A and B are shown apart, each in its own frame.
Chain A
Amino acid sequence: SAVISQKPSRDICQRGTSLTIQCQVDSQVTMMFWYRQQPGQSLTLIATANQGSEATYESGFVIDKFPISRPNLTFSTLTVSNMSPEDSSIYLCSVSGQWGSSGNTIYFGEGSWLTVV
């Protein structure tokens, strides 16, 4: 499985500010996803990060609030914009498939735990 590194692992953010989370994979992967896990809840997909094009967002998530980049096959960023306390969550990067294959299993990074005050 791929090794997935996320930064920051934890941060406390001021209301109204924005924070960018980085996800680095040690090998080229076909698919990259960003999930959100609110306190005490399950995981919800924010968007699929597409290499070289705009991300595909799930219902309820918009690009202005959660801009995503994926400049290459090993790196992606998620920005949480204009944060409010409701954005306090764990944000998880996940990947699937060595490049050239779909892969059937999704692996996760360690997560970024954001608290908005």
Chain B
Amino acid sequence: AQTVTQSQPEMSVQEAETVTLSCTYDTSESDYYLFWYKQPPSRQMILVIRQEAYKQQNATENRFSVNFQKAAKSFSLKISDSQLGDAAMYFCAYRSVIQGAQKLVFGQGTRLTINP
């Protein structure tokens, strides 16, 4: 079974600075998807960014980018120019492409605080 590990329970960063959140995963599959979700105090899960394992190019979405290292099974999230609205819990998640096993497997989460 796949597992996802986020080793940083909490992180903090100064507003306008850059922060990187770590995520590692374990799988024997060669094709899969990886995601970062954000959960603000409103508790809604918001998709931040998605990476397809077959793509070598790292995904980017405005101020958010990932460093996907497939061999190392590492998938970190970089947030540039941090804003107060980025404060939230961030969850890394894995999704198989195998029929019947397409659930999301989540890491434990990282609570990100933005200091003004």
Contact = CB atoms under 8 A, between A and B. Distances in A.
Contacts of B46: 108
Contacts, number: 54
Contact of B103 (A33, A107, A111): A33
B44 A43 contact: no
Nearest to B33: A104
Interface in A98-117: 102, 104-111, 113
A94 B46 CA distance: 11
Given A33-B103, A42-B109, A96-B102, A111 B43 contact: yes
A90 interface: yes
A9 B61 CA distance: 30
Interface string B80-116: 0000000000010001010010111011110000000
A31 interface: yes
B11 interface: no
A92 B103 contact: no
Contact size range, B: 20 to 34
A104 B52 contact: yes
Contact size range, A: 20 to 34
Interface in A17-57: 31, 33, 35, 37, 41-45, 48, 56
B43 A113 contact: yes
A8 to B, nearest CB: 13
A6 B39 CA distance: 16
A109 B43 CA distance: 10
Contacts of B50: 104-105
Given A104-B50, A110-B42, A111-B44, A45 B35 contact: no
Interface of A: 1, 31, 33, 35, 37, 41-45, 48, 56, 58, 90, 92, 94, 96, 102, 104-111, 113
Interface of B: 33, 35, 37, 42-47, 50, 52, 91, 95, 97, 100, 102-104, 106-109
Interface pairs A-B: 9 shortest CB-CB: A108-B45, A42-B106, A45-B103, A43-B106, A110-B44, A111-B43, A42-B108, A104-B33, A42-B109
